[in-house]
């Protein structure tokens, strides 16, 4: 049995290769992976001894060869494929462990040059992964280092015999196509970022971050998926019940609301994605009291967001109000101790959003789904750097008010407040 190992992320690769060698597998490898395995004492057959051709063009061409892809794509029970292997002297490859050049990490660096980014577009790696995944009935394909232990355990248990164990083989193959799809989406996004505002094609690559308590209603299942960009993926839950879909909608609205004041202390009280009140203050506690004063009734069962660290005084101020979620960039230890006295209160740490996320960048866009489609629109943008209220209303205790009942960032340029009624005990929003 022959295994081909060629990885950029070398976590666990030496241990994986050792385990394969102990099971009698021949190890073929390339470049830096081969060097790492040789240094660790693992017997390795260099790829150029398989292809009969050296690596060329600074490693751009090394595995794009019939001796590699023929060995991956040959169907073991297909007479024509077996005859072709014999005719051309190709040895079948029965396992591939490949992960790709770190393109997303490279382009995330602020100082990266275009030429550097282009060199991190992997060609041979995705080709080998796709060949192996297409022929997964005969070839085991591993793109994630976290899967190495499961593969070794299955091999030892005899659960990965060719053609007889579709479960794990198919799962690994599906993971490969998800991996390469996300990789291609990142490349497309990078190359198209300075092009048309609304490209003809938009590819979304989302990673599941967590399952949720329930969806929009308690009988619905839900999960949180996120892009690679900073934002909701950085959420850390410090206390409380599992989050629901509705909680996350309100958290997103609340954090976006307070992000407009990066240099001042702001607090937003959000219910059903609509602000009950948004206010500034000299301290988080004062900002909270002012925001709450805008509409104390609707604030029952709300989500409260701060754009600065929440301290003990702010936590004490929230003691008497039933709140679903409190979110802030960080929480002081004594504030967290107070908030943890409420068993079901969800306490969320989420890094501050950049001003671009709040709408000052034209690159930011809001998306919403409909049946079989997505709508995309530019986010609200601050006009001339100042606020102008859509509706003049009397201020209450210094709280900021605006138009009634409109979603933040939808059509009103100001914070808004809405008056509601206390939800009945046991309502879905209170779970």
Contact at 8 Å (CB) between 174 and 348? no
Q: What is the pLDDT of residue 286?
A: 96
Q: Which residues participate in catalysis according to the annotation? A: 134, 272
CA angle 120, 122, 127 (to 5 degrees): 180
Q: What is the pLDDT of residue 312?
A: 96
Contact at 8 Å (CB) between 400 and 279? yes
Q: Is pLDDT above 80 for 56?
A: no
Residue 395 — pLDDT band, cuts 50, 70, 90? very low
The two beta strands, 346-349 and 323-328, are: parallel
Residue 323 — pLDDT band, cuts 50, 70, 90? very high
Residue 364 — pLDDT band, cuts 50, 70, 90? very low
Contact at 8 Å (CB) between 259 and 311? no
Of 195 and 308, the structure prediction assigns the larger pLDDT to: 308
H-assigned helices in 194-281: 245-258
Average pLDDT over residues 79-97: 91
User: Phi/psi of residue 217, each to 5°?
Assistant: -125, 155
Left (φ > 0), alpha (ψ -120 to 50) or beta: where does 265 sit? beta
Q: What is the pLDDT of residue 412?
A: 34
Q: Cα torsion at 129, 134, 135, 140 (round to 10°)?
A: 40
Q: What is the pLDDT of residue 342?
A: 93
Q: What is the pLDDT of residue 83?
A: 92
Q: What is the pLDDT of residue 410?
A: 33
Q: Is pLDDT above 80 for 391?
A: no
Helix, strand, coil percent values for the chain (each to nearest 5): 35, 20, 45
Q: What is the pLDDT of residue 368?
A: 53
Average pLDDT over residues 342-365: 64
Q: Which helix (H) or strand (E) holds 238?
A: strand 236-239
| 3-state SS assignment for residue 341 | coil
Q: What is the pLDDT of residue 3?
A: 92
Q: Is pLDDT above 60 for 307?
A: yes
pLDDT tens, position by position, 12-49: 999 999 999 999 999 999 888 999 999 999 999 988 88
Of 206 and 9, the structure prediction assigns the larger pLDDT to: 9
Contact at 8 Å (CB) between 182 and 226? no
**DSSP conformation class of 158:** T
Q: Is pLDDT above 80 for 170?
A: yes
pTM over 0.75: no
Q: Is pLDDT above 50 for 358?
A: no
**What average pLDDT is seen over the chain?**
80
Q: What is the pLDDT of residue 210?
A: 83
pLDDT tens, position by position, 271-306: 999 999 999 999 999 999 999 999 999 999 999 999
Residue 429 — pLDDT band, cuts 50, 70, 90? very low
Of 103 and 349, the structure prediction assigns the larger pLDDT to: 349
């Amino acid at each position: 049995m022959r295994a081909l190992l060629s990885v950029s992320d070398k976590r666990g690769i030496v241990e994986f290769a050792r385990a394969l060698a102990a099971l009698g597998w021949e190890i073929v490898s390339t470049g830096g992976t081969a060097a790492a395995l040789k240094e660790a004492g693992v017997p390795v057959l260099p790829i150029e001894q398989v292809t009969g051709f050296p690596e060329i063009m600074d490693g751009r061409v090394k595995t794009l060869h019939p001796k590699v892809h023929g060995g991956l794509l040959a169907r073991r029970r297909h007479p024509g494929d077996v005859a072709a292997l014999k005719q051309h002297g190709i040895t079948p490859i029965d396992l591939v462990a490949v992960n790709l050049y770190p393109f997303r990490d490279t382009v995330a660096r602020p100082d990266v040059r275009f030429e550097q980014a282009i060199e991190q577009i992997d060609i041979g790696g995705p080709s080998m992964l796709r060949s192996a995944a297409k022929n997964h009935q005969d070839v085991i394909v591993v793109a994630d280092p976290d899967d190495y232990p499961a593969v070794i355990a299955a091999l030892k248990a005899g659960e990965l015999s060719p053609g007889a164990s579709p479960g794990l083989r198919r799962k690994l193959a599906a993971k490969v196509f998800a991996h390469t799809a996300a990789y291609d989406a990142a490349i497309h996004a990078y190359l198209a970022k300075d092009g048309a505002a609304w490209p003809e094609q938009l590819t979304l690559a989302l990673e599941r971050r967590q399952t949720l308590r329930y969806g929009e209603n308690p009988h619905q299942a839900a999960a949180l998926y996120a892009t690679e960009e900073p934002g909701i993926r950085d959420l850390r839950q410090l206390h409380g019940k599992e989050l629901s879909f509705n909680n996350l909608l309100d958290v997103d609205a609340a954090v976006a609301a307070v992000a407009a004041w990066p240099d001042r202390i702001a607090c937003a009280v959000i219910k059903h994605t609509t602000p009950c009140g948004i206010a500034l203050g000299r301290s988080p506690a004062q900002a909270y009291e002012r925001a709450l004063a805008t509409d104390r009734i609707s604030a029952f069962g709300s989500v409260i967001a701060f754009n600065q660290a929440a301290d003990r005084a702010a936590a004490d101020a929230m003691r008497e109000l039933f709140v679903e979620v409190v979110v802030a960039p960080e929480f002081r230890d004594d504030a967290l101790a107070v908030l943890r006295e409420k068993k079901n209160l969800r306490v969320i740490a989420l890094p501050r959003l950049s001003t671009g996320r709040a709408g000052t960048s034209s690159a930011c866009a809001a998306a919403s789904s409909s049946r079989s489609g997505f709508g995309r629109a530019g986010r609200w943008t601050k006009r001339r750097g100042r606020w102008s209220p859509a509706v003049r209303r009397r201020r209450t205790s210094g709280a900021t008010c605006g138009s009634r009942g409109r979603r933040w960032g939808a059509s009103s340029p100001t914070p808004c407040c809405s008056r509601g009624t206390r939800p009945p005990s046991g309502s879905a929003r209170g779970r």
